[in-house]
Amino acid sequence: MLELFPAGFEETARFDVVELAGYADAAAETALRAAGLGPVSVTLVEAGWEDRWREFHRPASVGGLWIGPPWETPEPGLIPVVIDPGRAFGTGAHATTRLCLELLQEQAPGSLLDVGCGSGVLAIAAALLGFGPVLGVDDDPLAIEVTLENATVNGVAGRVEARLVDARGGALPAAGLALANVSLSVVEAVAPLIVADRLIASGYLDRDTPELAGWRPLARRTCDGWAADLFERIQA
Ligand SMILES: C[S@@+](CC[C@H](N)C(=O)[O-])C[C@H]1O[C@@H](n2cnc3c(N)ncnc32)[C@H](O)[C@@H]1O
């Protein structure tokens, strides 16, 4: 299948039969029949199918920020944060990301640590809002690569650093504000290791309330069943 459809193919059924779909022209159909892999059926698809996935990636406005893919035009008057949705997690459209962006815009700019930076959307938005220095960490190498690429695209390459770190392993640099849009279990594991005055945490449902030793909750936002919380470090 990879030889016949080098751009990729799709597995459309997974029970007692495996059905594979390749999108190609009539020449590939002839080659597929000749390959004798099994019964072949042909369905015509509408022109433009190659780009149809783009319709699922709509821009989002959060306060003074516009977050959108490179093929959309930013809304005038808003700060554009351009994120290519093709790769690491984080197009900006997810409720947890939007809630973090809301809380972020209410904080005074200063140094910032983004735990679980994904595509870099929060770190890049922070740099564009005047936060600095900004460090994103993630335990996925693709996220580091994509964060640095997106920082360049958004003109903040010199102000956003990204490092491959499992945040549960500690050794996180101190910052004025930390963001952690990860998951409930990672937020609870990482919060005691974060050295910051304030923490914006998300990545969990609004029925979940993280219990973070050393942190006092200040505000909570919810959207579409998800929650984000702003915490303040309890001074010893
Ligand atoms: C839900 S995504 C959020 C991405 C981005 N911050 C956003 O708001 O769109 C969570 C990210 O956290 C990363 N992550 C999960 N556990 C981690 C850990 N222990 N240390 C560092 N990164 C982690 C994942 O690889 C993923 O990129």
Tell me, what's the pLDDT at 53?
Answer: 65
* Residue 100 half-sphere exposure toward CB, CA atoms < 13 A: 32
For ligand 1, whether the C-beta of 97 sits within 6 Å is: yes
> How confident is residue 109, by pLDDT bands cut at 50, 70 and 90?
very high
* pLDDT per position as a tens digit, 118-135: 999 999 999 999 999 999
How far is 181 from 230, CA to CA, in rounded Å? 12
Residue 89 above 90 pLDDT?
no
Output the pTM of the full model. 0.83
Tell me, what's the pLDDT at 62?
Answer: 97
Residue 202 burial class via C-beta count within 10 angstroms: exposed 0-12, middle 13-18, buried 19 and up: buried
Mutate to test the pocket of ligand 1, among 96, 101, 103, 140 (most ligand atoms within 8 A of CB): 140
Residue 146 above 70 pLDDT?
yes
Q: Which domains are seen in the chain, by residue range?
A: 10-45 (no CATH), 94-233 (3.40.50.150)
181 Cα–ligand 1 center, Å: 6
* pLDDT per position as a tens digit, 157-188: 999 999 999 999 978 999 999 999 999 999 99
201, 126, 93, 13: CA torsion to nearest 10 = -80
The mean pLDDT value for 207-222 works out to 95
How far is 119 from 140, CA to CA, in rounded Å? 10
**Closest listed residue to residue 67, CA positions, set 103, 111, 97:** 97
Contact 159, 129 (CB under 8 A): no
